[in-house]
Amino acid sequence: MADYQHWEESLVAPIIRQAQQKLMSPRKFHALCQQVIKSTGQKKLYFYPPPSELLDVTNGITIKELRQFLDKLAKYVSSTSSEGHRVTLYLKRVRLRLGRVNKTVVLVKKTRVCQHTPKSVVEAKPSRKKLEVNSKGLYAKAMLSQDLPSQDLPTQPAPIHPEMLSTGGMKVEVEIAGAGMVGRVARLRINGKDLAFKAFFDPDFVWQHGPWAEIPIGIRLKYAQVTKNCAEFLFASQDWMVWEWIYPDTNPEFRHNGITYEQFAEQEGLTQLNSLNIYNYNPYNIRLDPGGIQKEYWGRRWQDFLRGIVFYLRKVQREGLKSLTPYLSKRMITYLFRRLIVLISPWKSGSIGGREKR
């Protein structure tokens, strides 16, 4: 396992070192990652290892298994629109005989579903696209395998000894917290630790939002210890990120380490935080995620606006017009109108932002 981790980390180590020293643009970060993918044949890249307190060696959940589980969880979270939906999962690595081959897989045992959702939240089909449960909601039909290709999945659940289901596993609580323009956030509780898990809707699109922008932002802010009034980035993959979970009563006055984003932005010539989006702050003005941060330059606002239009066109093409329904609420229309005012009259942004923060 140590060899696996060392190999995984060495793939992106040069990119991380660059991103630590200077804020990298989304296009440059994406290009460097694509070079690694093409040269190594590795389809997934991971940035920073999960903290050791999120692992459970007793149940066989090491860095590799946790990352593979989060890859699948990202698809589940991005497709689960019910805000407040909760589910508790137990993870356990076991060795099973699938057909004629013995495979090491991670069983996902589901024990509780929020009462306002259907009993079978995920379709029981032999597909690896979602976390799947059987009709009783007990365990995953399609186990998360370390090296099992999707075409080898059995059409029926593999025989599982009752003892495997009764011995528990690593507990993972998932609660859908909300969704923004580029992704949906869930609160994860793993081994008693709360985390913000963000799954992106369109992770392949390269622009000032999404993983190709937010991962280098997170790396740079983490390295510079910009944690006084911003959530700290922890680890990520290409289509999901994990951040520190900020509670409503988290106060920057009691966060003694790190500097504020405003101090750092002034030093680096970065954009101001978008204070119009009050839902991206806790009551003490701690920023929950840093989407959109970039170098300030002439014409930036209009370029962001045009790229945003392209993003929504891709969304409609992929999901249909109904995908725009969440953006037609009174709250969102008011926000977009204020953003348009700032776009046309950027000199007013400071006063508008000041009122919003107060």
Residue-wise pLDDT for 75-116, tens only, equals: 999 998 888 999 999 999 988 777 778 778 788 877 655 544
Confidence of residue 73 (pLDDT cuts 50, 70, 90): very high
- Does residue 145 carry a pLDDT above 90? no
For residue 164, pLDDT beyond 80: no
Q: How confident is the model at residue 156 (pLDDT cuts 50, 70, 90)?
A: very low
Task: Please report, rounded to a whole number, the percentage of residues in the chain having pLDDT higher than 90.
Answer: 46
CA distance 220 to 215: 9
pLDDT band at 342 (very low <50, low <70, confident <90, very high): low
The DSSP annotation for 83-111 comes to TT-EEEEEEEEEEEEETTEEEEEEEEEEE
Question: Distance (Å, rounded) from C-alpha 321 to C-alpha 334?
Answer: 20
Q: Is the per-residue pLDDT at 213 higher than 90?
A: yes
Integer angstrom CA distances of residue 332 from 79, 166, 335, 358: 21, 46, 5, 20
Check residues 356 and 276 and name the one with the higher pLDDT. Answer: 276
β-sheet bridge partners, residue 112: 88
The pair of structure tokens assigned to 69 is 């589980």
Read off the pLDDT of residues 224-241 as tens digits, 9 standing for 90 and up: 999 999 999 999 999 999
pLDDT classification of 168: cutoffs 50, 70, 90: confident
pLDDT at site 104 = 80
Give me the pLDDT at residue 19, please. Answer: 96
Tell which wins on pLDDT, 330 or 179: 179
Q: Is the pTM of this model over 0.75?
A: yes
| pLDDT single digits (tens) 32-56 | 999 999 999 988 999 999 999 999 9
Average pLDDT, the chain: 77
Asked if residues 258 and 298 have their Cβ atoms less than 8 Å apart, the reply is no
Residues 315, 159: Cα–Cα separation, whole Å: 41
Q: Which residue has the higher pLDDT, 155 or 308?
A: 308
Sheet holding 240-244, edge to edge: 46-47, 233-237, 240-244, 193-200, 183-190, 170-179, 86-98, 101-113, 144-145
Spatial separation of the C-alpha atoms in residues 290 and 237, rounded to whole Å: 17
